[in-house]
């Protein structure tokens, strides 16, 4: 369980990223965080793996306050919290499988990993995760040979190979076209449900959020302005979150199913 207790974050330049956040996220929930750009979506989810550090409050992951973590505990935390990025963040010149195995680094000794000596069972795990996202035949292809959707699948396989408890996805489909976006979101939701992973996804398209979320958290100016299960969410909710009427741009559309 992830618990935010009066969490605030002020950036060194004085900008307030988060204002007094109180949230409880249960194990296995698929949460979509919505809000306009600059509302603090990234800051919120990046706090959970301490890619940014809140300046006030407590952030509990399984009853441990992660805000007090130092170097070593932090690395341990990050092996348990996987992350998916908007720009995939793969090493383009490396093979797909090597990129997937990069997710295993936190579990592998420094020398072993530097020599590329991953245990065979870890390689099996990596391959089976590539299979789960449907691109096992690309394992030895260089990552830059893949399409955007395939690259994002590689990064999902990388995160699964890390065997985390939590997945954070920061605008995972913002660089993809609508049909591919839906495919990737479906894959992400499927694997996260299969492994019972707590998942937080930042999205700014409201139709996508409605389609895939169990629960929606709305942010505006660093504050939680909505938090509720998906069946309580209507178009009115989004107008409240965005603080303005819904526009065409807020919808992705293009679901082929």
| Calpha distance 234→54 (Å, rounded) | 31
Q: Which is nearer to other proteins, 78 or 215 (CB)?
A: 78
Query: Taking CB under 8 A as the rule, which mask of x and - marks residues 98-127 in contact with other proteins?
Result: x---xx-xx-x-x--xx-------------
Closest C-alpha to 185, from 194, 195, 172, 167: 172
Considering the rule CB under 8 A, would residue 88 count as an interface residue with other proteins?
yes
The terminus-to-terminus CA distance of the chain in angstroms comes to 33
Handedness of CA 97, 102, 106, 109 (dihedral sign): positive
Q: Of residues 11, 26, 64, 75, which one binds other proteins by CB under 8 A?
A: 75
Min dist CB 232 to other proteins, Å, is: 32
Least CB distance to other proteins at residue 195 (A): 16
**Burial zone of 7 (CB within 10 Å; 0-12 exposed, 13-18 middle, 19+ buried):** buried
Q: What is the torsion angle, in degrees rounded to the nearest 10, for the CA atoms of residue 78, residue 84, residue 85 and residue 89?
A: 80
Question: What gap in Å lies between CA 185 and CA 244, rounded to an integer?
Answer: 26
Least distance (Å) from other proteins to the CB of residue 249?
Answer: 26
Q: Is 153 in the site for other proteins (CB under 8 A)?
A: no
Q: For residues 71 and 249, which CB has a smaller minimum distance to other proteins in the complex?
A: 71
Looking at residue 146, the DSSP 8-state letter turns out to be S
* Min CB(229)–other proteins separation in Å: 29
Q: Which is nearer to other proteins, 162 or 192 (CB)?
A: 162
Residues of the shown chain interacting with other proteins in the complex, contacts defined by CB under 8 A: 49, 51, 75-83, 85, 87-94, 98, 102-103, 105-106, 108, 110, 113-114, 155, 158-159, 162
């Amino acid at each position: 369980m992830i618990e935010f207790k009066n969490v605030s974050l002020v950036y060194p330049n004085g900008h307030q990223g988060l204002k007094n956040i109180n949230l409880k996220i249960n194990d296995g929930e698929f949460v979509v965080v919505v809000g306009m750009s600059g509302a603090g979506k990234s800051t919120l989810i990046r706090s959970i793996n301490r890619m940014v550090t809140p300046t006030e409050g407590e952030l509990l992951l399984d009853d441990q306050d992660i805000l007090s973590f130092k170097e070593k505990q932090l690395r341990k935390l990050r092996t348990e919290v996987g992350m998916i990025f908007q720009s995939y963040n793969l090493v383009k010149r490396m093979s797909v499988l090597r990129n997937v195995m990069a997710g295993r680094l936190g579990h592998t000794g420094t020398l072993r990993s530097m020599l590329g000596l991953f245990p065979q069972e870890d390689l099996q795990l990596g391959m089976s995760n590539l299979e789960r996202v449907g691109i096992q035949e690309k394992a030895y292809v260089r990552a830059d040979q893949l399409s955007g959707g395939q690259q994002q699948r590689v990064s999902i396989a990388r995160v699964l190979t890390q065997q985390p408890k939590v997945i954070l996805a920061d605008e995972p489909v913002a660089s993809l076209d609508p049909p591919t976006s839906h495919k990737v979101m479906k894959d992400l939701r499927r694997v996260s449900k299969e492994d019972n992973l707590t998942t937080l996804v930042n999205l700014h398209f409201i139709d996508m959020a409605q389609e895939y979320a169990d629960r929606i958290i709305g942010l505006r100016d660093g504050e939680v302005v909505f938090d509720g299960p998906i069946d309580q969410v209507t178009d009115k909710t989004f107008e409240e979150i965005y603080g303005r009427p819904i526009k065409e741009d807020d919808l992705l559309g293009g679901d082929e199913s």
